[in-house]
A and B are shown apart, each in its own frame.
Chain A
Amino acid sequence: MSGQKDEAAEGPRFVDPELVALQGGRLQLKGGCCKSCGALSFPKGQVCTQCLSLEIDDKILSGEGELYSYSRVHMAPKGWDVPYTVGYVDLAEGIRIFAHIDESASPVQIGGRVWLGEGRVGTAPDGAILKSYLFATVAGGRT
């Protein structure tokens, strides 16, 4: 954990701000949708893998999904707050998202529903808090 002073000086940073967008004050996942053929991408592609078009629109992805699988990671490179839980979340539009999973409300379950949020995932070398999008379980477990 980093010192309070560093955190105050730097402020939290997103691991990869390109993956998210703010819409109506809420964090959303930002994918891409090919203007020519409609193929979806996440992260938003620079080129369409289906038709090679370079015209890709932003596409806000759904904020809930089903947990395909997960693991609680106890050994990781420096910078991540271990232990942390990661998982693959399947969205209704057919995209699978790798994400940190916040299971503070209830333990994760494969097949359970999880909701998009944001939170602390690590600490940068300069002491700044690293945030990212994540998916969270809800109180009461599987819904």
Chain B
Amino acid sequence: MSTVHVLGTGAIPFRKYPEKTLAEIGWPALREAMLEAGVRADDINAVYCGTALGGMLAGQRVAKALGISGMAIVNVENACSSSSSALAQAWMAVKSGACDIVAVIGVEKLTKFGGGTLPLEREDWEVNQGMVMPALYAMRAKRYMHEFGLTEAQLAQVSVKAHDHGALNPNAQIQKRVTLEEVMASRMVAEPFTLWHCCPTGDGAAALIIGSEKAARKFGKGRVRIAASEVTSGKYTNGYRDMTFPELTVRGAHEAYEMAGIGASDIDVAEIHDAFTIAELMYYEAFGLCERGGAYDLLASGATSLGGRVPVNPSGGLLSRGHPVGATGAVQAVEIVRQLEGRAGKHQVEGAKVGLTHATGGGIAGFDHGACSIHVFTL
């Protein structure tokens, strides 16, 4: 089995592009990835495109703009994990030897829905009773605060950190620092979350060209290797669940660490799924970056800020870079690859050699989350 290498990356600035089509949002990212890799359309054996709400044949719509057609083009929908799941499919295609060079796209246009909370599937009985994504995470936050004594002001500091990072990232949707007072005084969405506790909705796209060891040699690219690729789903129950410790991320992290042959202490930089402030804290614990209940202390110590021991979400994360649902997994991967290659610019994590991405989501009754995908990148 081949090792799997990243030959090229592309990402567009995450913004609101109501005037553009999904294909127009997507192709510039894929073009950049192809130019970085030095590959042409004919070199690509397969395309995996992740989008949650982009509609039918999104991958074909993006690929044809660049003359890419005639190979397998597969569209992957897995809520917030759509393009990270697409990356996992691509990884498997290369790892197995079935393909030498595969393109991965993550693309989403949320501005087509207007504004407000993400449209969820009304067929789900909890959604039908008034569940919205902010409320789901807010209930996690309330329970975590109850069990571990976390305060609203402490929780709000996650947002301050995210926007400190995002202010340094020209591709971030929000490039504005916020103060603790601004976070706490902004409009209430779902208690304890004000607007600044929630990721913005917007549009975005990112892409990667990945390939085998042979392809990496041929094109003289691919210093960064994908050492682990993991997709899992939540475990269904209509009974009790511990909402402060996301079971599927805990399980996925163990599996990914094992596959990569690393432990939590080896991680130099991570992009994790901070859709709402509480998520970042819970995922510190789920990934073993700290003990249960120790997440706020880790944040407050500065360890997860730029310059700290293990910077988390140097891009600004979902809270600041933005979260066009299906594009998130791919842009996290682009970010980590560029971090390991030392070309992340103002938000560079110096000397990072091992990086992690994590996209999880999907509000569905009976699950912590519908899907979770984790990747480990090494230099």
Contacts and interface: CB of A to CB of B under 8 A. Distances in A.
Contacts of B188: 72, 74, 83
Interface residues of B, number: 32
A94 B240 contact: yes
B117 A77 contact: yes
Interface in B343-379: 365
A76 B132 contact: yes
Contacts of A49: 236
A122 B132 CA distance: 15
Contacts of A84: 130
B243 interface: yes
B243 A98 contact: no
Q: Which 4 A-B pairs have the closest CB atoms?
A: A71-B138, A69-B143, A69-B139, A72-B191
B201 to A, nearest CB: 12
Given A43-B125, A132-B129, A73 B240 contact: no
A107 B241 CA distance: 24
Nearest to A71: B138
A90 interface: yes
A30 interface: no
Interface in B128-149: 128-132, 134-135, 138-143, 146
Contact of B129 (A68, A75, A98): A98
B128 A100 contact: no
Contacts of B258: none
Nearest to B366: A96
Where chain A touches its partner, the secondary structure class is strand
Contacts of A74: 187-191
Given A86-B135, A88-B139, A122-B130, A71 B191 contact: yes
A80 B143 CA distance: 24
Contact of B190 (A75, A110, A121): A75
Interface of A: 15-16, 19, 40-43, 49, 68-77, 80, 83-84, 86-88, 90, 94-96, 98-100, 110-111, 121-122, 132
A94 B239 contact: yes
A71 B142 contact: yes
Interface string B21-59: 000000000000000000000000000000000000000
20 contacts: A15-B128, A41-B238, A69-B139, A71-B139, A71-B141, A73-B134, A73-B190, A74-B190, A74-B191, A75-B132, A75-B134, A75-B189, A75-B190, A76-B130, A77-B116, A80-B130, A84-B130, A96-B238, A98-B365, A110-B146
Interface of B: 116-117, 119, 125-126, 128-132, 134-135, 138-143, 146, 187-192, 236, 238-241, 243, 365
A83 B365 CA distance: 22
Contacts of A42: 238
Instruction: Specify which of A72, A94, A111 lies most central, judged by the most chain B CB atoms within 10 Å of its CB.
Output: A72
Given A72-B188, A73-B132, A73-B134, 16 more contacts: A15-B129, A19-B125, A40-B238, A41-B238, A68-B139, A69-B142, A70-B139, A73-B135, A74-B191, A75-B117, A75-B190, A80-B130, A88-B243, A94-B239, A100-B129, A121-B129
A71 B200 CA distance: 20
A68 B116 CA distance: 27
Contact of A70 (B119, B142, B240): B142
A98 B365 CA distance: 9
Contacts of A75: 116-117, 132, 134, 189-190
Contact of A96 (B119, B125, B241): B241
A121 to B, nearest CB: 7
B130 A100 contact: yes
Contacts of B236: 49
A16 B134 contact: no
A105 to B, nearest CB: 19
A110 B140 CA distance: 12
A90 B146 contact: no
Instruction: Specify which of A87, A90, A110, A111 lies most central, judged by the most chain B CB atoms within 10 Å of its CB.
Output: A110
B129 A16 contact: yes
A76 B189 CA distance: 8
Given A71-B191, A75-B134, A110 B142 contact: yes
B117 A68 contact: no
A74 B365 CA distance: 21
B117 A76 contact: yes
